[in-house]
Amino acid sequence: MTEQTAHIATLKVVHLNASSAGGAFVAAQRLSQALSQTDHIESSHWVFEGGEGDFYLWADQWLKKKWAFGLHALEKLDFLRYEREKSVRFAFSHGKTGVNVSAWKSIQEADVIHLHWVNKGFVSLRGLKDLLSLNKRVVWTCHDMWPFTGGCYHPRGCDHFTNTCGKCHYLKSPSDADLSRRVFSAKQALYSDSGNNLAFVTPSQWLKDQALKSGALTKALRDGIQVIPNPIDTDYFHPKVIQPQPAGSAKPFVLMFAAANLGNIAKGFDGFRWVCNELVSRGFTQVEALIVGENRIGDLGLNCKYREFGFIKDAEQMREAYWQADVYVTTSLEENLPTTIMESLSCGVPVAALAVGGIPEMLVASGEHQTGFLVPKSGVGLATTDNYMEQLVQELSEYIVAPQSQVHQIKQNGRTFALQHYSARQIALAYERVYRS
């Protein structure tokens, strides 16, 4: 330890996350682990419910598991009287239920409380107020838009959050004073009373731009928003050493798709199916699909060969999936900064995607530093058209027959990009600066 660093106080940081599944959990877990390897940081990760792992699990007993399930169910039952239709039930939260997180010993002893995705009955709006009243540094990484809207995670073309919400298209009786307006007003009051203790971080510039438009945030909060990508372990997610293929052997061209739930319309499996089937119809019979995620669809309707890996939690299985892919394809219709794109690039796998959310910040679509293929998505909402999918198919068609020198360069570009932007060490140091500011 140098004389210069000896006087730096050690910070106790507690990360809070609602579930042990999903991108927000993965990002929080990796960040906590990276911070733990940083001088002068003691980092712990508390998860509300889910499977066990290298973190603290609140619902670690039968009764607590039932309690966690009940809190989420109670909130959704209460929301039934407001929802427009069943399809929006899990796209909106009014922050009605939660546990008394502010009373936890780990929270009481923490110097910094780091919020990630805290819905699902974990931290209510009242719970947020209690946390902010502890007069501790609170950092909130926005993994979607919920922290600054009237309750939706993604507004799907609506701009009411730029003012005061109200007239919400998620609700069956939209009006000026509807549920979204009340939730929005509650957040405005919370943030107005937060003083200098609260700071927001967004993983992408796109999400920061959305937050800057929100009428829920004070000017001081908007001015203080930092853009810090989610971290990945670039040492673990590395390119696979390619073994020489036997002479005359025909290797399939593998397109990978991943979503926690294939039936989630926002993740765009319909678009991926269309891309695969269109490539086959153009004579690319060597195309094969590799599907990661829970299949709630049944018959996937693919005309090419395909393999299903199911829902994956294990990092080793996920890395193996990337290693078997030639291109990772995401036809998602709403996104922030997908971890799967970071991991793909780090594994040297090019990415084909629609230009939604923060994805354009993650891909170089042309030139000597190209890392993949990016096509614009016209319009807003969840509607799909063949126009941009046609362009995606054309890009992939050309890549399938591209010279090996070009393929190798694009793969190497992706790896270099990931090392430069997403390494856990540099992300941890960026967060430490936010904690101490």
Do residues 123 and 101 lie in contact, with contact meaning Cβ atoms separated by under 8 Å? yes
Taking residue 55's Cβ as centre, other Cβ atoms within 10 Å add up to 18
Q: Tokens in use for 66?
A: 């039932």
With a cut of 50, say whether residue 1 has pLDDT above it: no
- At residue 145's C-alpha, the angle toward residues 141 and 146, to 5°, is 90
Domains and CATH numbers, the chain: 11-231+423-436 (3.40.50), 253-421 (3.40.50.2000)
* Predicted structure pTM score: 0.84
φ and ψ of 91, to 5 deg: -105, 5
Which range is least confidently modeled, 72-86, 235-249, 344-358?
Answer: 235-249
313 falls in which pLDDT band (50, 70, 90)? confident
- Report pLDDT for 229: 94
- Integer Cα distance of 112 and 103 in angstroms: 15
Say how many CA atoms lie within 13 Å of 271 toward its Cβ.
30
CA distance 64 to 59: 5
User: Does position 4 have pLDDT exceeding 80, yes or no?
Assistant: no
Token pair, residue 350, equals: 């090019």
Query: What DSSP designation does 61 have?
Result: S
Percentage with pLDDT > 70 across the chain: 95
Task: Using the predicted structure, report yes or no on whether residue 62 has a pLDDT greater than 80.
Answer: yes
Quote the pLDDT of residue 2.
Answer: 52
CB count in 10 Å sphere of residue 7: 6
Query: What's the whole-number mean pLDDT along residues 6-35?
Result: 91
pLDDT at res. 248: 59
CA distance 47 to 21: 10
Consecutive H or E run containing 291: strand 287-294
Report whether 188 contacts 216 (CB < 8 A): yes
The pairing of beta strand 253-261 with beta strand 327-330 = parallel
pLDDT in tens, 121-139: 999 999 999 999 999 999 9
Please enumerate in sequence order all residues whose Cβ is within 8 A of that of 245, keeping only pairs 6 or more positions apart, or say none.
251
Residue pLDDT, tens place only, 353-382: 999 888 999 999 988 999 999 998 765 444
Q: Which helix (H) or strand (E) holds 219?
A: helix 219-223
User: What are the pLDDT digits (tens) for 156-200?
Assistant: 889 999 999 999 999 999 999 999 999 999 999 999 988 789 999
> So what's the pLDDT on residue 242?
72
Q: How far is residue 402's CA from residue 29's CA, in Å, rounded to a whole number? A: 38
Instruction: Give the model confidence (pLDDT) of 275-311 as tens digits.
Output: 999 999 999 999 999 999 999 888 999 999 999 999 8
Q: How many angstroms separate the CA atoms of 172 and 157, rounded?
A: 17
| Nearest-angstrom CA–CA distance, 64 and 232 | 31
Start-end of H helices in 264-384: 269-281, 315-323, 339-346
pLDDT score for 437: 87
Residue 207 reports pLDDT greater than 80:
yes
Single-letter amino acid code for the residue at 81: R
User: Given this model, what pLDDT does residue 253 score?
Assistant: 96
pLDDT, residue 6, reads: 55
CA-closest candidate to residue 274, choices 156, 340, 356, 354? 354
CA–CA separation, 323 vs 126, rounded Å?
45
Q: What one-character DSSP code corresponds to residue 361?
A: G
Computed over every residue of the chain, the mean pLDDT equals 91
